[in-house]
Amino acid sequence: MDKEWVFLHRRSDEYLLGLRAFISHAVAVAGIDGNIKCPCKVCGNRHQRSVTDVEDHLHISGMDDIYANGIWDKHGETIPNVTDEIHHMFQNEDMSSLLADAFGMHDYMAELDVVDEQSSPPYGPTPYAAKFFKMVEEAQTELYPGCGKSKLLFLVRLYQVKTMFGMSDSCLNAMLTLIKQWFPNVDLPESFYKVKKFITDLGLTYEKIDACPNDCMLYYKEHANDTSCHVCGSSRYKRVADSENPSRSRVPQKVLRYFPLGPRLQRLYLSRYTAESMIWHAEHRPKDDVLRHPADSKAWEQLDSIDPTFGSEARNVRLGLASDGFNPFGTMSQSHSTWPVVMSVYNLPPWLCMKKPYLMLSLLIPGPTSPGNNIDVYLRPLVDELKILWEEGIPTYDAFKKEEFNMRAAVMWTINDFPAYAMLSGWSTKGYKACPHCGHSTKSYWLPNSQKCCYLGHRRWIPILHRFQRWTVAFDGHQEHQLPLITMTGAQCLQELSSLRFKFGKNIKQSEKNPKRK
């Protein structure tokens, strides 16, 4: 069902045509005695109204924002099911052709015998060669002889059900055992561990990167084989093998979970429906100077001006980075802070870009305490990959246009509360210079009775002739005559930060910071 009319001006002819088409469809599919639920901002789908009342309400008040940007499940809209789509594709298309489309290997099948896999690019189609043939074999394997159902598809669905309903590993193991006992012909793994091994080639994996317990460094790249921190000297492991117990496994003190971003961005283009939505901002977005999508913002235009080649390819991905801490133990009294880093995709339409399937967990920074300014240590794998995505790009197959292109990606902004903003930006949001916009010109006063800082000077940002500029009683007793500050450019920000030197880690002893006099 077309949704673009919802975001048009309510007095326009296009809005009225879209409104009447929506009502006609809703009455035919989900109507009860000629009445439908009214999705206006006042009714919010709580009341059944006549066709005339619904049209009047939507024409006067407009559609409820939450419903307009969500799934229209009250008026007969067909909700897309990824599993059904995959099942349909498996039943109606040749398996080898389908998987060749998925891995973007049409032009590379003849080269598989001569290309050295180790010398291929990190995300190119050629490293998928071994996966391709294995996936073809596994996807054609039946769940039991004569059923015609794919074993691989069943295991993917089983993994999805486990995640949706929070099933434990032991629960799924018992379920697999029961199925194998009652249906001996079904060829299933014996445990959830083997299920995960079976579907590893789908890309549902992550990397474990050991970290210093004091957040000084990652055991990554040039330090991958180190056994102690080169900053504080802490051991990498809390339990290591020794001469008495040589078989005892080594247990790292802290582990960062990193979910590679590139393969997941590639998978957005494996579905022809999602691939079409990824270029909505360029081909279907209303361009009427109304801000309804990040593509209408100045930041979007500025990125295009910085690199015109990036903006000329609508399939290049614009990302947002969000992070905050949470306690995974819920309301328990235990204090714990785990920090996920989530990437959101802004190429998609407004009703999809903030939905759960398109919010990608990129990093899971372990606790038990907040990383603070040391979050930069944990962001390194993501930053390294983002550099590749920006500078080089990765070969990606577009299932909608049936062609391969070089996909690039860029982070446009970060989304945080104020404390997390300080951690990611490097600008302290506490003390006398807490305002990131005013910077060194922040007007602040110490309130001795409340023992807090008070920030004034915000009237400089309103128009010069505004009455608040001359109002003294409600503020600090003075009129405001200062002009708004000029926003710093990116180059100026880098220049401000160029002289800073950071020492990461929390294991800095007090005696080292302030040595006692002898």
Same domain, yes or no, for 406 and 447?
A: no
Q: How many CB atoms lie within 10 A of CB 217?
A: 22
Taking only the tens place, the pLDDT of each residue in 319-345 is 999 998 888 776 656 788 889 999 999
Of 68, 84, 101, the last residue of a domain is 68
Same structural domain, 326 and 457: no
Which of residues 34 and 217 earns the better pLDDT score?
A: 217
* Same domain, residue pair 308 and 282: yes
Ranges of beta strands (E only) in 184-253 are 207-211, 237-239, 251-252
Q: How confident is the model over 89-101, as a mean pLDDT?
A: 42
Could you give the CA distance from residue 131 to residue 441 in angstroms, rounded to a whole number?
57
Which among 379, 376, 338, 381 is positioned nearest to 503, based on CA atoms? 376
In a domain, 162, yes or no: no
The confidence score (pLDDT) of residue 317 equals 93
Burial code (b: 16+ CB inside 10 Å, e: under 16) for 473-487 equals eeeeeeebeeeebee
Burial of 50 (0-12, 13-18, 19+ CB in 10 A): middle
461 has a pLDDT exceeding 50: yes
330 is a domain residue: yes
pLDDT classification of 510: cutoffs 50, 70, 90: very low
Structure confidence at residue 462 as a pLDDT band (50, 70, 90): confident
Q: Does 443 lie in the same domain as 398?
A: no
Q: By C-alpha distance, which of 366, 358, 318, 319 is closest to 340?
A: 366
pLDDT score at 135: 56
Same domain, 470 and 363: no
Q: Are 322 and 415 in contact (CB under 8 A)?
A: yes
- Tell me whether residue 99 is in a domain: no
Number of domain units in the chain = 3
- Average pLDDT on 290-316 reads 88
The closest of 370, 365, 371, 374 to 502, measured between CA atoms, is 374
Does 395 share its domain with 444? no
Min mean pLDDT across 176-185, 206-215, 236-245 is at: 236-245
Task: Indicate whether 338 belongs to any domain.
Answer: yes
Q: Is residue 103 part of a domain?
A: no
β-sheet bridge partners, residue 380? none
And the tokens for 249? 């496994």
Does 447 fall in a domain?
yes
pLDDT of 136 reads: 55
Which of 110-114, 315-319, 351-355, 377-381 shows the lowest per-residue confidence on average (mean pLDDT)? 110-114
Q: Name the least confident of 121-130, 279-288, 418-427.
A: 121-130
Task: Report the percent of the chain where pLDDT is more than 90.
Answer: 10
Looking at the chain, how many residues does it have? 518
pLDDT at residue 157 in the model: 78
Q: Choose the weakest-confidence range: 92-96, 163-167, 230-234.
A: 92-96
Give the mean model confidence (pLDDT) for residues 503-517.
57
pLDDT at residue number 88 = 45
What pLDDT sits at residue 93?
Answer: 40
Co-location of 470 and 421 in the same domain? no
pLDDT band for 203, please (50, 70, 90 cuts).
low
Is residue 464 predicted with pLDDT exceeding 50?
Answer: yes
Residue 303 and residue 409 in one domain: yes
Are residues 374 and 304 part of one domain? yes
Expressed as residue numbers, the domain containing 464 is 439-486
pLDDT value, residue 85: 43
b/e 83-115 (16+ beta carbons within 10 angstroms → b): eeebeebbeeeeeeebbbbbbbbeebeeeeeee
Label residue 411 by pLDDT band (50, 70, 90): very high
Final residue of a structural domain among 425, 452, 474: 425
- Express each pLDDT in 109-126 by its tens digit: 333 333 333 333 344 443
Pairing of strands 36-37, 48-49: antiparallel
- For residue 83, pLDDT over 70 is answered with no
Give the contacts of 246 (CB within 8 A, at least 6 positions apart). Answer: none
Q: Are 236 and 221 in contact (CB under 8 A)?
A: no
- Quickly state the pLDDT bin for 99 (edges 50, 70, 90): very low
Check residue 53 and give its pLDDT. Answer: 87
Half-sphere exposure of residue 293: CA atoms within 13 angstroms, side-chain side: 25
Q: Which tens digits make up the pLDDT trace of 227-243? A: 888 888 888 888 665 55
- Does pLDDT of 508 surpass 60? no
How many Å from the N-terminal Cα to the C-terminal Cα in the chain? 79
- State the virtual CA torsion across 228, 229, 233, 235 in degrees, nearest 10: -40
**Residue 200 near residue 493 (C-beta atoms within 8 A):** no
Would you say 442 and 457 are in contact if contact means Cβ atoms under 8 Å apart?
Answer: yes
Residue 343: per-residue pLDDT = 92
pLDDT band at 105 (very low <50, low <70, confident <90, very high): very low
Instruction: Verify that 328 and 297 share a domain, yes or no.
Output: yes
- Give domain status of residue 85, yes or no: no
Out of 44-48, 148-152, 413-417, 484-488, which region has the weakest mean confidence (pLDDT)? 148-152
Average pLDDT over residues 149-171: 78
Query: What is the value of pTM for the model shown?
Result: 0.65
Helix (H), strand (E) at residue 463: none
**Which tokens go with 56?**
């009047």
Residues 414 and 449 in one domain: no
pLDDT of residue 455: 83
Residue whose C-alpha is closest to residue 386's, from 300, 295, 294, 319 = 319
Domain final position from 68, 91, 116: 68
pLDDT surpasses 70 at 390: yes
- Give me the pLDDT at residue 120, please: 39
Place of tokens 């317990």: 213
Is 234 contained in some domain? no
CA dist., res. 510 & res. 406, Å (int) = 51
What average pLDDT does this structure show over 440-457? 84
Mean pLDDT, range 511-517, rounded to an integer: 46
Q: Are residues 281 and 371 in the same domain?
A: yes
- Give the mean pLDDT of 44-61: 85
Among the ranges given (87-91, 314-318, 433-437, 469-473), the one the predictor scored with the smallest mean pLDDT: 87-91
Side-chain-facing half-sphere of 268: CA atoms under 13 Å: 25
pLDDT mean across residues, the chain = 77
Does residue 160 have a pLDDT over 80? no
Nearest-angstrom CA–CA distance, 347 and 315: 8
